[in-house]
């Protein structure tokens, strides 16, 4: 299907949630308005729904006694989360202006905006949240890129895109809401042969034995079901997605969490992330795979 035939403007593919659970998740994100997801985006207009990577720039933060310290801390957290999105985009390979990329579980669209700005491509996002889709489309119009960046309310396990339509696709901290075999079957269908799939996700470490108490707390907080690293790799291979790159980002994300735990934006889940990363029961990984 040519790019011009993709849905634009208002969403035209709005199925009912595929399960009662997905209905719960749609309501969860429609009602979500945590400052940590909004105040960081206010820094430069890129609104993400994920975490950060990289070392903290303490020189940029300055003294905690400075009246502007909290504002600088928020800007630093946002810099780290944008660095995470940049790393994901680095893994997509060669994307052209005529290509389409798909963000499954797109949140408020920050990664799609960055993809278009970098590649000039068309970025299509799907989310169960009408609130998130409306926010993304409104922001794209404000930036004058509404013809290139578009989100719609859609089950990521059954998207409206044509088989082989996407040059690349990704999940950025959204795969814990679905069955992995069903998810990767849909990515495999949508991707062209040779297309690249990337995920950045938290997963429990099989070497730990079972999900730890910290992982259980994260599941309860976000109403999700965190998978093991082993499940990701098996489900990919079973669906013609062959992993090419695996990066353990756990050490790189700890500085973000430790800084966030000192901010006014705490949500109460910071301790679980920090402790699970430190005890090895939880990992933050990037996996890039090619569609064969």
Percent of the chain with pLDDT over 70: 94
Task: Please provide residue 150's backbone torsions phi and psi, each rounded to the nearest 5 degrees.
Answer: -145, 135
Structure tokens at 174: 């959204």
Through-space distance between the first and last CA atoms of the chain, rounded to whole angstroms? 20
pLDDT band at 1 (very low <50, low <70, confident <90, very high): very low
**pTM for the full predicted model:** 0.92
Q: What is the pLDDT of residue 35?
A: 81
CA atoms 5, 6, 11, 12: torsion sign: positive
pLDDT tens digits along 92-101: 999 999 999 9
- Note whether 149 and 113 are within 8 A (CB): yes
What is the average pLDDT score of the chain? 93
Spatial contact of 108 and 81, defined as CB atoms under 8 Å apart: no
With H, G, I as helix, E, B as strand and everything else as coil, classify residue 236. Answer: helix
Mean pLDDT on 265-283: 97
What is the pLDDT, as a whole number, of residue 274? 98
pLDDT of residue 32: 83
Strands, E, within the chain: which ranges? 100-104, 122-127, 149-153, 166-172, 191-204, 241-248, 282-291
pLDDT in tens, 158-168: 999 999 999 99
Residue 62: φ, ψ to 5°: 70, -155
Helix (H) / strand (E) element for 128: namely none
**What is the side-by-side order of every strand in the sheet holding 166-172?**
149-153, 122-127, 100-104, 166-172, 191-204, 282-291, 241-248
pLDDT at 257 over 70: yes
Residues with Cβ < 8 Å from 292, sequence gap 6 or more?
193, 194, 240, 241, 242
Of residues 283 and 18, the one with the higher pLDDT is 283
Distance CA 276, CA 270 (A): 10
Residues 43-71 have pLDDT tens digits of 999 999 899 999 999 999 999 999 999 99
In the chain, what is the greatest distance between 2 CA atoms, to the nearest angstrom?
57
pLDDT above 90: residue 10: no
Q: Which CATH class, in words, describes the domain spanning 18-291?
A: alpha beta
With tokens 């990704």, the residue in question is 170
Token pair of 23, please?
A: 């209905």
CA distance 289 to 140: 29
Domain ranges for the chain, please list them: 18-291
| Contact criterion met (CB below 8 Å) for 33 and 185 | no
Looking at residue 189, the DSSP 8-state letter turns out to be H
**CA-to-CA separations, 277 to 40, 53, 81, 227, 282, in angstroms, rounded:** 23, 13, 17, 15, 5
């Amino acid at each position: 299907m040519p790019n011009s035939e993709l849905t634009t403007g208002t969403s035209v593919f709005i199925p009912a949630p595929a399960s009662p659970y997905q209905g719960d998740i749609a309501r969860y994100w429609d009602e979500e308005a945590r400052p940590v997801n909004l105040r960081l985006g206010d820094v430069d207009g890129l609104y993400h729904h994920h975490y950060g990577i990289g070392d903290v720039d303490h020189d940029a933060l300055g003294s905690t006694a400075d009246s502007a310290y909290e504002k600088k801390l928020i800007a630093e957290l946002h810099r780290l989360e944008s660095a995470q999105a940049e790393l994901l985009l680095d893994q997509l390979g060669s994307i052209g202006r005529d290509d389409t990329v798909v963000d499954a579980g797109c949140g408020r669209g920050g990664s799609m905006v960055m993809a278009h700005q970098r590649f000039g491509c068309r970025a299509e996002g799907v989310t169960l949240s009408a609130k998130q889709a409306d926010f993304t489309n409104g922001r794209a119009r404000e930036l004058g890129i509404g013809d290139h960046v578009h989100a719609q309310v859609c089950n990521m396990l059954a998207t409206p895109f044509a088989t082989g339509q996407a040059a690349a696709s990704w999940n950025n901290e959204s795969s814990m809401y679905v069955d992995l075999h069903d998810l990767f079957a849909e990515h495999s269908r949508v991707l062209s042969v040779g297309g690249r799939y990337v995920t950045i996700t938290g997963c429990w470490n099989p070497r730990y034995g079972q999900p730890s108490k910290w992982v259980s707390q994260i599941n309860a907080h976000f109403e999700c079901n965190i998978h093991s690293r082993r499940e990701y790799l098996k489900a990919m291979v079973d669906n013609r997605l062959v992993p090419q790159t695996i990066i353990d980002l756990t050490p790189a994300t700890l500085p973000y969490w430790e800084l966030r735990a000192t901010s006014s934006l705490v949500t109460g889940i910071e301790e679980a992330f920090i402790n699970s990363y430190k005890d090895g029961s939880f990992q933050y990984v990037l996996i890039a795979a090619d569609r064969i």
